Structure 1
Amino acid sequence: MPTVREIEAALFELAPREGTMEWDNVGHLLGDPRQNVNRCMVALDITHAVAEEAIAAGCQLIVSHHPIMNCKWSQVQTVRDDTFQGSLLTRLLRANVSAICMHTNLDIAEGGVNDVLAQILGLQKLERFTSEGVCRCGWRAEPMALPEFVRFVSKTLGCNGVRYADAGKPVHRVAVGGGACGEFEDAAIAAGCDTFVTSDLSYHQFVDAKVKGINLVDAGHFPTEDPVCEKVIAFLAGRFPDLQIQKSASHKEAIQYYVEGE
């Protein structure tokens, strides 16, 4: 059976460390690199629920997209049982469960988060359009009316709800950015895109969409990134045939939408 160190090395072949953004924190972040792994769980995030699920399933390793310790929004200064993050870290350590996280390097990687998202949404002739190489753009085989495209996105990604702004254009050349990629809206416009699918867009971006001439589709952070988990599972299964791998069943979209009449 492989060790945590060997699995980390393989994952860096899928998503090279060199693609990691400067502020990010990726790789083997928790546990013993020498630990043997016969069962692994894959999830977008390592939540308390995912941790308990992995422990109950007898997993020695969790592979996630979002780092369990991230220097940008959750700096680790203490590891204490009476804090939210500290209790998660100590729970996993006491259960001998390691954590490997592939984040911005997996966003940027060929075949990573944004290639998977673009392919699921039926885009062809994919291109990178940002200097960082994060997002992708491509063409739909045939133009589609925006309301029809929004329904397609919602159904395909399993969204609880979709926020969108209509700039009055059919959907043909589409940019995608899994997770919070609203900062690349202007780059999508410069690349000639009529539509941008991403998440965590601001109110003012929706207000300005028609003037700027781009349809905006906010399909949610979880739905736009979670599809890459299946890619990670397939990759690990190919590299380590004897490794038992399962996707977290407890981790789902956290945002709920109230609809009048339901």
Structure 2
Amino acid sequence: MSLQELEKYTGQLLQVDRYKDYAPNGVQVEGRAEVRRLLCGVTASEALIDAAIAWQADAILVHHGYFWRNEDARVVGRKKRRLAKLLAHDISLLAYHLPLDAHPDLGNNAQLGLRLGLQAEGRFGEQDMGWTGSLPAPMTLAEFGVRVGAQLGRDPMLLGRPDQPVHKVAWCTGGAQGYFDAAVAAGCDVYLTGEVSEHNYHAALEQGVGFVAAGHHATERYGVQALAAHLAGQFDLVWHYQELDNPV
């Protein structure tokens, strides 16, 4: 299919115009006009571009792309190396940030909740980015941490009493530690996100609500895969997910 058609369809699917975002959604670097082989990953690092070149991809689909608000606009250093490789190999880069977090089926939050067995019930936070839901049965914070670790393949950081009961969960993938107070106001027993800040430790103890930091990368691996699989099914594309582990 054409790159233009792919961008138009995906933009409509994710309703990109609804979101006030920190970077452009859609085609960020234009490559060849036709797309048949689509490689996806979490972040458009140089290593992901190298993998796309080796796999002979026509386009790369990511959650974390380029041209972030307030970043240095100069094309120097690593930005030059990344763009030079994309342009030299005529590979397009498509990135979808907040729209991919929020999509009710394909999004990062939806896909993470599905893997953790959470029954989604509501939204909270700026642009309704955060989700709330319930576990099938109550468990302790420690047991919930074991469940998260088993699904994500890494041990999360737990803040709070290990024995405190957990039933209602609030979550928002990535770097959403700033939503903790909003999650508490939404009535959760525990808040799950990717990253943690120093003050979250004290807030968790003082409010009696657990905090789980499971990794920015680890919590945001699944939306881009679900989106790529959907696009491949719609347009007979060949797709591949490239995992490049990031401990953050």
TM bin, normalised by shorter chain, reads over 0.9
Q: Pairwise mapping of residues 2-21 of structure 1 onto structure 2 (< 5 A)?
A: 2-21=1-20
Whether the 8 Å contact between 2:21 and 2:98 is mirrored in structure 1 is no
- Paired residue secondary structure (1:204): helix
Whether the 8 Å contact between 1:20 and 1:26 is mirrored in structure 2 is no
Q: Given the alignment of the two structures, is residue 203 of structure 1 paired with residue 201 of structure 2, yes or no?
A: no
Partner of 1:146 in structure 2? 141
- Paired residue secondary structure (1:10): helix
Q: Given the alignment of the two structures, is residue 96 of structure 1 paired with residue 90 of structure 2, yes or no?
A: yes
Q: Given the alignment of the two structures, is residue 182 of structure 1 paired with residue 177 of structure 2, yes or no?
A: yes
Partner of 1:44 in structure 2? 42
Post-superposition shift, 1:86?
1.4
Post-superposition shift, 1:131?
4.2
Partner of 1:258 in structure 2? none
Quickly say closer, same or farther: Cα 1:7–1:219, change in 2 above 3 A. same
Q: Given the alignment of the two structures, is residue 121 of structure 1 paired with residue 116 of structure 2, yes or no?
A: yes
Whether the 8 Å contact between 1:19 and 1:104 is mirrored in structure 2 is no
Whether the 8 Å contact between 1:45 and 1:68 is mirrored in structure 2 is no
Partner of 2:240 in structure 1? 246
Unaligned runs of 5+ in 1: 256-262
The letter of the residue matching 1:40 is: L
Q: Measure the CA separation in 2 of the matches of 1:203 and 1:166.
A: 13
Q: Given the alignment of the two structures, is residue 79 of structure 1 paired with residue 75 of structure 2, yes or no?
A: yes
* Structure that is richer in helix per residue: 2
| Alignment: residue pair count | 246
Post-superposition shift, 1:203?
1.5
Q: Pairwise mapping of residues 224-239 of structure 1 onto structure 2 (< 5 A)?
A: 224-239=219-234
Unaligned runs of 5+ in 2: none
- Paired residue secondary structure (2:23): coil
Post-superposition shift, 1:208?
2.3
The letter of the residue matching 2:16 is: R
- Paired residue secondary structure (1:25): coil
Q: Measure the CA separation in 2 of the matches of 1:20 and 1:85.
A: 26
The letter of the residue matching 2:116 is: L
Q: Pairwise mapping of residues 208-223 of structure 1 onto structure 2 (< 5 A)?
A: 208-223=203-218
Structure 1-normalised TM-score?
0.89
Q: Given the alignment of the two structures, is residue 54 of structure 1 paired with residue 52 of structure 2, yes or no?
A: yes
Structure 1 runs (4+) deviating above 3 angstroms are none
- Paired residue secondary structure (1:155): helix
Instruction: Give the fraction of aligned pairs with identical amino acids, expressed as a percent.
Output: 29
Post-superposition shift, 1:85?
1.2
Match of 1:156 among 151, 157, 177: 151
* Structure that is richer in strand per residue: 2
Q: What root-mean-square deviation, in Å, do the aligned CA atoms of Structure 1 and Structure 2 show?
A: 1.6
Q: Measure the CA separation in 2 of the matches of 1:66 and 1:148.
A: 31
Quickly say closer, same or farther: Cα 1:254–1:89, change in 2 above 3 A. farther
Structure 2-normalised TM-score?
0.93
Cα shift readout 1:100-157 (whole Å, capped 9, x = no counterpart): 0000111122221111111211111431122411010100111011111101101101
Q: Pairwise mapping of residues 162-177 of structure 1 onto structure 2 (< 5 A)?
A: 162-167=156-161, 169-177=164-172
The letter of the residue matching 2:20 is: M
Partner of 1:25 in structure 2? 24
